[in-house]
Chain A
Amino acid sequence: MQAARRLPDNISPRRDLWPAIAARIAADERQMERQDRWRPFGMVAAALALVAVSSLVTIWVTDDPAPRVVHQISPGGMAVPARSAPLAAGFGAGVTLGPRYERARQELTQDLEGRLEELPEPSRALVERNLQQIRAALSEINAELSKDPNNVLLQQLLLAAYQDELAVLMNVNKMVQTLPLRTEI
């Protein structure tokens, strides 16, 4: 016990270790800082790689080429899109007719595109030119309504023009469906 009491309270190291420890801590912090700085770039790169890979897989699986706009020469000599897609159904500035209407319109347009092949070429071109005229009228009225949103006449004409477009799509669809083109027995 007496020998233990003779031991000193503190023993100082022979050399100062702290400067070396502090230097190592500082070096680790710098490395972590560098890693943090690059982490967002790494995440973005990973996301881009993922998108690219999934897109390639999708293209490979569906084998669906990008839609092409086919042009033909109208009898008048003017190039017109053979399959003109309707513009989004707007109703003046910032107003749309809603997803249900858009869906119905899109379905009718797609149905008609498939069925138009059944029509003789002059009738097909004529239907497409007339649909373009309706769509040009829709654009014109929409543009005017954007400038004058409270104009009741424009609202009435625009709604009626949308109905006309649907009516033409439906009527021609129905007509082509009932054509006696081929034997049915």
Chain B
Amino acid sequence: MRSRFKALAAVAAVTAFAAGPAWAERMVDESADAHPRGEVDIANTAGQVTVTGWDHEQVKVSGELGAGAERLLFEADGRRTEIKVILPRGSSSRGSSDLEVMVPKGSRVSINGVSAEIMIREVEGALRLQTVSGEIDVEVYGEDVEAKTVSGQITIRGQEVPALLVLNTVSGDADISRIRGELVANSVTGDLDISSAELARARIRTTNGDIDLSTGLAEGGRVDMEAINGDLRLDIINDVNAEFDIETFNGSINNDFGPDAEAVSRYTPGKSLRFTEGDGSSRVRIKTLNGTISLRGR
């Protein structure tokens, strides 16, 4: 009797070992037909999400579910595909899962994460990205892009194609290059480093971070930069045809062209600089409380 019990226990143990613990790391590989300009919604709490556009009308996800993840939800219904790493209810583990997702190039992609890193390549549809502390690294084509993070670094590389780009970061830095079109960027303490061949509209604000913008101004373009304690620097890389309205309450203004800044009054330390260069078709407005403003032109 005792030996039979031992044999049963051994079989059970081997079976359990072979099956693996319920939430051990495991591979996933799923695919489904998708609309060429459909929506793909992805949620992964921690780990990495890499999305790449391809020429097939199919969404394919592969990768590894982390220990702590319960399973992968993969649902496609023609125009919308949902991919979600499911964590067990009540679990304190956030599970680190790595997903590689292939989507039709024209897809609109939305990604939510907590500490997940997000990387997107060759996706030409609109992007809506959010991660609390993970990094966001994106290629931007002609569609709108919205990226939000608390502390993650944002890296955006454009394709010199006009698009609307909206970025919100609390303390994460942003490095943005080769963009065109319209840019709205806000940070509290993160530094914003932006280079563009030409911008039609830009509104960039920070509380205590620094802003470094190097751009050409489109005809009739508008650039608005504000900071409380950060330093603001604008390099205009094409011919300068703009009206400038620049003011600091307690900082200094360095101007590479045009007139020098003047004191606002005899009683305050503020400086202001208002002038027109070229035909004045664009407008540049830069304001700060305590920061230094540097203006450079070609």
Residues of A within 8 A of B (CB): 119-120, 122-123, 126-127, 129-131, 133-134, 137, 140-141, 144, 148, 151, 153-154, 156-157, 160-161, 164, 167-168, 171-172, 175, 178-183, 185
Given the complex, which residues of B lie within 8 Å of A144, measured CB to CB? 249, 289
Given the complex, which residues of B lie within 8 Å of A157, measured CB to CB? 226, 228, 249, 287-289
- Interface size (B, Cβ < 8 Å)? 45
- Going nearest first, the 10 A-B pairs with the smallest beta carbon separation are A180-B43, A130-B188, A137-B228, A183-B86, A130-B170, A123-B132, A153-B247, A183-B89, A123-B150, A123-B133
Q: Is the CB of B168 within 8 A of A171?
A: yes
Q: Using A153-B249, A160-B205, A180-B84 as known contacts, say yes or no to A148 and B150 having CB atoms under 8 A apart.
A: no
Q: Is the CB of B229 within 8 A of A137?
A: yes
CB distance from A100 to the nearest CB of B (A): 23
Given the complex, which residues of A lie within 8 Å of B43, measured CB to CB? 180
- Counting CB contacts under 8 A, is B171 at the interface? yes
Residues of B within 8 A of A (CB): 43-45, 70, 73, 84-91, 94, 112-115, 130, 132-133, 148, 150-151, 168, 170-171, 186, 188-189, 205, 207-208, 226, 228-229, 247-249, 264, 268, 270, 287-289
Complex Cα distance, B87 from A183, in Å, reads 5
Q: Is the CB of A119 within 8 A of B249?
A: no
Given the complex, which residues of A lie within 8 Å of B130, measured CB to CB? 175, 178
Q: Using A137-B208, A175-B130, A181-B87 as known contacts, say yes or no to A164 and B151 having CB atoms under 8 A apart.
A: no
Residue from B45, B86, B171, B208 within 8 A of A179 (CB atoms): B45
Complex Cα distance, B189 from A171, in Å, reads 15
Complex Cα distance, B42 from A180, in Å, reads 10
Residue from B45, B73, B188 within 8 A of A164 (CB atoms): B188
Complex Cα distance, B132 from A181, in Å, reads 12
Q: Which secondary structure dominates where chain A touches chain B?
A: helix
Given the complex, which residues of A lie within 8 Å of B115, measured CB to CB? 120
Complex Cα distance, B170 from A131, in Å, reads 9
Q: Which secondary structure dominates where chain B touches chain A?
A: loop
Given the complex, which residues of B lie within 8 Å of A167, measured CB to CB? 168, 186
Q: Is the CB of B132 within 8 A of A179?
A: yes
Q: Is the CB of B73 within 8 A of A180?
A: no
CB distance from B275 to the nearest CB of A (A): 17
Residue from B89, B133, B170, B205 within 8 A of A122 (CB atoms): B133
Give me 20 other A-B pairs in contact (C-beta within 8 A), A141-B228, A153-B270, A178-B112 excluded. Answer: A119-B150, A122-B133, A122-B151, A123-B151, A133-B208, A134-B188, A137-B208, A141-B289, A153-B264, A154-B249, A157-B226, A157-B288, A175-B148, A175-B150, A179-B112, A179-B132, A180-B43, A180-B44, A181-B114, A183-B87
Q: Which residue of A lies closest to B267 (CB)?
A: A148
Q: Is the CB of B151 within 8 A of A126?
A: yes
CB distance from B130 to the nearest CB of A (A): 6
Complex Cα distance, B273 from A161, in Å, reads 22
A-B contact pairs, 23 of them (CB 8 A): A119-B114, A119-B150, A120-B115, A123-B151, A126-B151, A133-B189, A153-B249, A156-B226, A157-B249, A157-B289, A160-B226, A167-B168, A171-B168, A175-B130, A175-B150, A179-B112, A179-B114, A180-B45, A180-B84, A180-B113, A180-B114, A182-B87, A183-B70
Q: Is the CB of A164 within 8 A of B186?
A: yes
Given the complex, which residues of B lie within 8 Å of A129, measured CB to CB? 171
CB distance from B147 to the nearest CB of A (A): 11
Given the complex, which residues of B lie within 8 Å of A154, measured CB to CB? 249, 289
Given the complex, which residues of B lie within 8 Å of A134, measured CB to CB? 188, 207
CB distance from A145 to the nearest CB of B (A): 10
CB distance from A115 to the nearest CB of B (A): 12
Residue from B89, B189, B268 within 8 A of A148 (CB atoms): B268
Q: Is the CB of A180 within 8 A of B188?
A: no
